[in-house]
A and B are shown apart, each in its own frame.
Chain A
């Protein structure tokens, strides 16, 4: 009973962080509107591109309209995930992290909860933008079953990207500036994640390498719901579960090492 109460109060603390972050995001909308504008432009450009590709009459792995929806989904997932590594890196560089370590909440978990709050504030707005723009540009809607599956899997994928940002941010304990890590990560996500093109369009070796990374799990696999008639939701669920565990373990291990280092050597 006591253990249950403690667990509940721990969850309540992170839930409070999440709700606070969501409330803050509602008041600071400039960045969100910027993301929406970028989203509309990029979908407009790509719907024109796929139309021209279709006019060229050359075979691609999928129809142009499904490729616009594919991009709408990958961008929705990516733009919904807040880049929390920047805030973590700055806190570590300024030294603010030292007084936050003493609080009765885990620094890493509270940053993740805060990131999830931002994600939950952004995802609905960006999701509506994706849906409206993609349906206007293509004049087509994917099967309802695919759309229904996309919402939970897309949110889970965006949460996993947020967790990856957390790991990246924690690297600042050792590297101070994690921008080069982000740049490499961004490029890998672009190609191995299939951000703009489904992986089927890339050469064989790219697909083989991608299978050993979390990148397709967070972008290409959820977005592929609109490309295929048969949806392999259990497989994606398994992949998301495996990678979530691996990333959570990595984040825990890194944070413990960093906190131990700070306790022994000072901030």
Chain B
């Protein structure tokens, strides 16, 4: 399995780098995109330096972790955002005949070069937050990795709804974008029922807030909680996809994937 994932990743990277100019342009514009969005926080926190205990460095860390996790997700498992269409249009046919896991193969089908721009800007923002050093690097990498796993798992669940509900591309995409939107804003903004949702159905808490806590104040309890959450969401995602695959009906398509 790991050899297959490695081969898929290498192939995606080579495919992206084949068009170097387009790759560089997409990376550059995504970096610019993220920094432009961050101008909002720089402008705001110039006037309001502390928001319920959150300083600019903390927002940089949050934004950095989520951007890097999102970059890893769409850079290495970009197919997650297209699962709904694959299912609805019967595009999984080609994968079903192959001797590898359908889900992993489908995830690796659409690598987005812009994801590397997200990853790069994420690393820069984490660096600016002052939390990145050789000493904290493994912890930051683990936090970003866990955040990416929760993102991928959530994407699989949202887009797998197509197995039961048919054309749900728009709804699933909205759920996915809401998850990212909520992950990008500081935790103290949300309370009550919204907070409950953000740690269950729309797990922004495990995409952004808990990884940030872990890097700001490392503790075994928080580390175990994050790893358990990532494992649980991934398990739910795999079970959901496998159950859905049992209902999948062929699109009778003659096509090739590349």
Contacts and interface: CB of A to CB of B under 8 A. Distances in A.
B15 interface: no
B174 A38 contact: yes
B29 interface: yes
A41 B47 contact: no
B178 A41 contact: yes
Q: Which of A45, A184, A202 has the most CB of B within 10 A?
A: A45
Contacts of B171: 34
A52 B188 contact: yes
A204 interface: no
Nearest to B202: A41
Contacts of A58: 47-49
A183 B33 contact: yes
A34 B40 contact: no
Contacts of A201: 43-44, 47
Task: Kindly state the interface size class of chain A when it binds its partner.
Answer: 20 to 34
Contact of B189 (A34, A38, A52, A203): A52
A57 B51 CA distance: 10
A169 B48 CA distance: 40
Contacts of A52: 51-52, 188-189
Contact of A34 (B25, B44, B49, B173): B173
A49 B36 contact: no
A35 B37 CA distance: 19
Contacts of B47: 58-60, 201
A49 B33 contact: no
B189 to A, nearest CB: 4
A264 interface: no
B50 A56 contact: yes
B48 A190 contact: no
B174 A53 contact: no
A187 interface: yes
A53 B29 contact: no
A48 interface: yes
Interface in A28-59: 30-31, 33-34, 37-38, 41-42, 44-45, 48-49, 52-53, 55-56, 58-59
Interface string A170-195: 00000000001001101100110000
A240 B173 CA distance: 35
B122 to A, nearest CB: 18
B185 interface: yes
B170 A30 contact: yes
Contact of A45 (B170, B174, B182, B188): B182
Q: Which of A30, A49, A52, A191 has the most CB of B within 10 A?
A: A52
Nearest to B191: A48
Contacts of A196: 40
Contacts of A86: none
Contacts of A183: 29, 32-33
> 9 tightest A-B contacts by CB?
A187-B36, A48-B189, A58-B48, A30-B170, A183-B29, A34-B170, A37-B174, A34-B174, A196-B40
Interface of B: 25, 29, 32-33, 36-37, 39-40, 43-44, 47-52, 170-171, 173-174, 177-178, 181-182, 185, 188-190, 194
7 contacts: A38-B181, A41-B182, A48-B190, A49-B185, A183-B33, A197-B40, A201-B47
